[in-house]
């Protein structure tokens, strides 16, 4: 039992033969009916040519009858093809939605990871900036001298004046991580600093994330092909190289 029969969309199975074979059979059958009627008319003494014209006039338009017979024979098959096409289209839309959502989740995850990396780097820089504690001598009740930190010294640790000048390159690159931003840093330069794209990278949809939102989607492949359009990055930018799903 076919899908359409199970759904109750038609009562009989569609003809399983090839479309060209069905169309040929329809024309042959129509020609047989016209020829039989022409033969019956010719038996009355009419010439074959006149008998043929009279038979066609009595039968009606052969092309109209052919079109009706073809629609009857192939209509259910065409309906099935349209349903299959609609199902396929819906499946492709659903797949595109899944891929888009997966890319969004990956972007959000990498952005969160970049935030964590930036905070860790900031803490490491703060620790490096902390001067060593200078102990002082203090007396105890027993008259012994011990070394203790200066009062208030721990509460006056220096803070960094500005965020670290870095760009974070994440995703499908050889060495994901941070790249130092000096006077100038472009997208291609940042990718090169991280060892370039990995085997499964999608260079046609590289995202530049600034202030936690995607500000641009770049086709790096086109930039490398033409040598034009390289993007200037800013301090704190995040570059996400997505995975190629195909």
pLDDT 10s digits, 101-122: 877 777 677 667 666 766 666 6
CA distances from 2 to 70, 77, 86, 160 (A): 21, 11, 17, 72
pTM of the shown model: 0.42
**What is the rounded radius of gyration, in angstroms, for the C-alpha atoms of the chain?**
40
**Residue 23 pLDDT exceeds 90:** no
Q: How far is CA 1 from CA 5, 8, 16, 74, in A?
A: 6, 11, 13, 18
Position 110 in a domain: no
N-terminal to C-terminal alpha carbon distance within the chain: 36
Q: What is the pLDDT of residue 232?
A: 93
- How many domains are contained in the chain? 2
As a whole number, the mean pLDDT across the chain is 76
CA distance 189 to 21: 63
Beta-carbon count within 10 A of 119 CB: 10
- On whether residue 107 sits in a domain, the answer given is no
Give per-residue pLDDT as tens, 141-162: 555 554 544 444 444 444 443 4
Instruction: Please indicate, yes or no, if residue 115 is contained in any of the structural domains.
Output: no
**Alpha carbons 130 and 74: distance in angstroms, whole number:** 84
Residue 90 sits in the same domain as residue 168: no
Q: Where does the chain have alpha helices with state H? A: 3-7, 19-42, 48-59, 62-129, 187-193, 220-226
Residue 137 lies in a domain: no
């Amino acid at each position: 039992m076919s899908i359409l029969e199970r759904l109750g969309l038609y009562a009989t199975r569609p003809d399983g033969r090839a479309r060209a074979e069905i169309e040929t059979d329809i024309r042959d059958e129509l020609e047989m009916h016209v020829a039989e009627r022409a033969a019956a008319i010719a038996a009355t003494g009419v010439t074959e040519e006149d008998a043929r014209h009279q038979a066609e006039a009595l039968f009606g338009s052969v092309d109209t009858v052919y079109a009706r017979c073809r629609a009857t024979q192939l209509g259910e098959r065409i309906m099935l093809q349209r349903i299959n096409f609609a199902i396929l289209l819906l499946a492709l839309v659903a797949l595109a939605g899944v891929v888009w959502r997966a890319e969004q989740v990956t972007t959000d995850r990498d952005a969160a990871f970049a935030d964590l990396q930036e905070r860790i780097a900031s803490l490491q820089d703060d620790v490096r900036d902390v001067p060593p504690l200078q102990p002082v001598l203090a007396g105890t009740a027993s008259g012994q001298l011990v070394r203790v930190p200066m009062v208030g010294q721990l509460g006056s640790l220096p803070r960094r004046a500005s965020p670290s000048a870095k760009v974070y390159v994440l995703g499908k690159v050889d060495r994901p991580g941070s790249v130092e931003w000096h006077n100038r840093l472009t997208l291609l330069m940042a990718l090169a600093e991280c060892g370039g794209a990995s085997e499964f990278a999608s260079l046609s949809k590289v995202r530049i994330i600034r202030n936690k939102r995607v500000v641009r989607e770049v086709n790096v492949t086109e930039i490398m092909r033409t040598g034009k359009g390289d993007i200037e990055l800013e301090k704190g930018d995040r570059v996400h190289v997505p995975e190629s799903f195909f």
